[in-house]
Amino acid sequence: MRGKGITILCSWITAICLMLTPAAVYAETAGQDTGAGQENSTSEQGTTQDNTLIEAPSGILMEAETGTVIYEKDKDTRRSPASITKIMTLILIFDAIENGTLKMEDTVTTSAYAKSMGGSQVFLEEGETQTVETMIKCIVIASGNDASVAMAEHIAGSEQEFVKRMNERAASLGMENTHFEDCCGLTDSPSHYTTAHDIAVMSRELVTRYPKILEYSSIWMENITHVTRQGTSEFGLTNTNKLIRSYEGCVGLKTGSTSVAKYCLSAVAQRNGITLIAVVMAAPEVKARFRDATAMLNYGFSKCSLYVDEKMSKLPVLPVKKGVEDEVPLVYGSQFKYLNTDGKAITEVKKNLKIHKEVKAPVKKGQQAGEMVYSMDGKELGRVAILYGKTIDKATYGDCLKMIFKEAFS
């Protein structure tokens, strides 16, 4: 038995010498490219720019899953957003719920300052308490300025601190043409502005990251109960977004209007697995914003088809040379999504996995190992990065000796 162990030991020592001798790092599959690829693909067709489609001076149509812009008109001009501002307020509310500092059943007390808000309100009294869930409904259904300020104070201590966080969140989303001065959009300050594009970006963040908001923004009418020192009374909330009743598939999101902003809207509609966001800014009258949103949504649904790889192919393990382990698992960097905007259906999508045959240690978890390439009718649709699912350190002489003795005497 000892002689057999010595024979195995000698064989392993020879293998060590060969393994630690410098060699070519990779053996690539013939004709395959492992350069960085897109994680989420969108269509390569151009964005439509037809100034006659909508009456308002600024508008945009965006598909929510991929962020593809399907239609645009003067999308980057800074304008007053009015109550569209509350979309960012809602994002921060749901951020707080997600991180555990806020719960739907928590109660929020209305301050004198929150009660003093003019414009759209749900007539909260000083000292009145409502649950976070009720406040969300008051904000998204009835556009309550008082509820928005009450929530801002509850989360951040003051509206000023909350607005600071709103601007930080906007910056994190790449909203380069946005600056907030309040949490509800009541101000007419020229320093309170955003664009149609930035509204679409924050609308997309809200509805894709926190889809529960659509349960509230699609409510047409609902009553809340005021409990104050004067007694108990019912108050009816009616959705300011008339498309909820008149447009098939509309599930949100937010309206806004002031004398400076004129009439604004961020409308969200869903059909056939596609979610579209239509933003209208500075429409000349109240009905025009709904007509414009309808025109954009109709255009989008007539042109768009979405492919989502719901059954991502199982990935192999990759052999590792000169590592403390001899193989590494692979994972996808993201789910593949592709939006087609030429009106044609997406069928018979093909997948081609491009990875190395083996890899040389060390490898780091999260580094790119290759790509999955998607195509249809010979045309590439996009790529998803394939990543190493585990860190594998380079084997030292000590590691090799441990493996040898374990193998020889186990």
Catalytic positions: 83, 86, 143
Q: How far apart are CA 252 and CA 245, in angstroms?
A: 11
User: Cis before residue 329, ω within 30 degrees of 0?
Assistant: no
Residue type for position 210: Y
Q: How far apart are CA 345 and CA 306, in angstroms?
A: 8
Q: How far apart are CA 302 and CA 306, in angstroms?
A: 12
Q: How far apart are CA 336 and CA 187, in angstroms?
A: 42
What pairs with residue 339 in β-bridges?
306
Backbone angles phi, psi at 131, to 5 degrees: -75, 160
Q: How far apart are CA 290 and CA 265, in angstroms?
A: 8
User: Cis before residue 401, ω within 30 degrees of 0?
Assistant: no
Task: Determine contact, residues 337/374, Cβ cutoff 8 Å.
Answer: no
> 209 CB contacts (<8 Å, ≥6 apart)?
91, 94
Residue type for position 36: A
